[in-house]
A and B are shown apart, each in its own frame.
Chain A
């Protein structure tokens, strides 16, 4: 029985299993069509067909937080859960007290009807709940003041969600199929995969391991993990994650200023993923909105997952400035609000109660401790690989260490590490062709497991 130490997240886009991996391997591949079985006359969405088959990932999930959630946060969620069984504490669709909201509901309904075109009522009512629910209001205000104080992002610019992955898809639904997008290479696979599903891309080109019509912005040691924007084609949307998953690199103020300028010149929209912002240790920006002019070209997605261990609780947010406008002057935020109210029904009220506790003074302190713990893990891992003579990147401002194995296939390295040390890492090519030659080691893990893994690395590579 292999004891795997889960240190990494593995979501390669097109690979074969290099031998047996511990745990259940979920494989989504094309089956052969049955000849006699009844078939509908509904055509398969060809965008789904573009997604790479042989999509493998070992269970349990890796790249996953491991440390318990601070008590100040869970007790808030526990309290909220209990409260839902009481008359005064019960709330339905985001409303604190049904009666208190109903007057507002009515006013909003009649006002909304006067808009053109008239909106169906249920959409209006759910929109009302989106906008007026006191609980949500509190959390939006708290997120704005905690993360965006003095940056000109206000509470009504904040859209609370069930996490970044869903938000990215909702943003793709917002953008539609007729947009071009750019991603860093390597990058978190959900940006590319959601783009394929929405029909923004061409076919996967096996020789270069890229989807047609996506602009891949290579980020390597050679360019300091920031793309050479002079070689990047204009696209409508630019996905940018900093601190970066998987490279761990946090862009500097100067680099982000150039990015914002690039977006401004091209009339592009930056989707800035700041899910690891709290891991920044130096003076690298924590929000794109620290950059002047960003409010006209960028929106920001973030999450409580890696701060508060909320990977299973599900809570995040997207900030869309009022100044972010389409080419016809229409504010993005208005359309995103429409998407959110049609395609979503709010994050769980219990999770939101947890979120409120997260951004309380005590909660912020507790989250910093959690983050600090993983940062110590990161330092241990960085130290280990550096002492073995490897070039190691990231690890300063993110819970990811990007280890270079020049000239080697990342899947071969992954297999070797797995077979010889029983430690699960993530092959860099799973994040795009720019990840080839690298392996991502994540710092999520119990301290003893991290130490043990590092002991085994030292054995293997001494």
Chain B
């Protein structure tokens, strides 16, 4: 049993310096200007002039405006279309509440599990197939080396909702403009709604689209979810947003944004004002510069890890436009690989099968970590894998 092996492992190596390249959590401290803005805001809550109570559920006006003008500069998103939240995971659940149980959904395979799990919880799916881990009624769009990590849409059945994450967790693939054009066209032809997760957009290096709304026509078919978590290290601070364009209409012509507003106002009470103050600081010119250099730090980690896997002859996908590497171990079982890596190098990764059946032969390695740990991990991986 794995559990027993784990105990053996710990007993065998009681002094092992375990390095985690597993959980996708940021590690580097916040930029001073951002932390300071939150500290000041918190302090002012003790003063009559600085005290604030309930904020608008959709977020404070200044932050909605800053997101629309900074993140969606020249893309034409209105601040009224931006809904500030406590993060993508909360938003995905609220979107599922919005959609209800009578929806068919498609997800990439592999995929961030929350799309699937929230779909199950809301009642959109059938039972799970124990062996494969797939749920009935969900359309799984395989993404792998064979199709350049973009689904073959000609083989994809129509669903009401299409969850699409780019840059992708876990594969790290950032869809090209042409691919996203195809996706938008597919959604248009099928009358589907794309829920586009752009949480890692800021990691893109090579000019690929950072927002689905860069594709003409996307405003009529897509909702976009994003987060400050991986941009600004806000994984614990909790701040994100969802864009619902005014032109996005249900089949009866009713604007989706009006219902989403209702869900937000009933099921949520706004992101913490302190977090929102931090978000504003992140989007200021000084803050944004500082935040981007944090992102660069993780990007450099990713380069180091990419180089490591390349040097030992392994195919590592992703890592270029995302803080995740998707390493292929053809013919193997990802849990076995995970265990072996842990056993031999004391490095925690994530078995690809946790993200869906198509992840079976892959391991996800994250680029979040202190540089010295990344370097140490690289050393160990090189010696073990070569």
Contacts and interface: CB of A to CB of B under 8 A. Distances in A.
A342 B20 contact: no
A71 B130 contact: no
Contact of B272 (A49, A95, A314): A314
Nearest to B191: A41
A68 B35 contact: no
A102 B348 contact: yes
B75 interface: no
Chain A interface residue bracket vs B: 35 or more
Contacts, number: 348
A350 B23 CA distance: 21
Given A42-B193, A77-B42, A121-B113, A312 B50 contact: no
Given A105-B20, A177-B101, A343 B90 contact: yes
A45 B351 contact: no
Contact of B25 (A87, A93, A176, A311): A93
A330 interface: no
Contact of A81 (B42, B51, B117): B42
Interface in B12-43: 18-20, 22-32, 34-36, 38-40, 42-43
Interface stretch (B145-153, B255-263, B296-304, B311-319): B255-263
Contact of A44 (B53, B122, B192, B251): B251
B235 A93 contact: yes
Contacts of A354: 42
Contacts of B251: 39-44
Interface stretch (A190-198, A221-229, A262-270): A190-198
A109 interface: yes
A64 interface: yes
A75 B265 CA distance: 30
A87 B26 CA distance: 12
Contacts of A110: 2-3, 5-6, 339
A51 B261 CA distance: 12
B34 A85 contact: yes
B233 A92 contact: yes
B36 A176 contact: no
Contact of B250 (A40, A79, A339): A40
Interface string B91-131: 01100011111110000000011101110011100001010
A207 interface: no
A85 B32 contact: yes
Given A82-B36, A122-B114, A344-B89, A98 B20 contact: yes
A165 interface: yes
A312 B251 CA distance: 37
B259 A42 contact: no
B46 A31 contact: no
Contacts of A339: 121
List 7 tightest A-B contacts by C-beta distance, closest first: A33-B253, A41-B191, A121-B354, A343-B93, A85-B35, A120-B113, A169-B267
Interface of B: 1-3, 5-6, 10, 18-20, 22-32, 34-36, 38-40, 42-43, 45-48, 50-56, 86-87, 89-90, 92-93, 97-103, 112-114, 116-118, 121-123, 128, 130, 133, 160-161, 187-188, 190-193, 220-221, 233, 235-238, 247-255, 258-259, 261-263, 265-275, 278, 335, 339, 342, 348, 350-351, 354-356
12 contacts: A28-B261, A39-B251, A40-B191, A40-B251, A43-B251, A69-B51, A110-B6, A111-B2, A168-B267, A169-B267, A311-B54, A342-B118
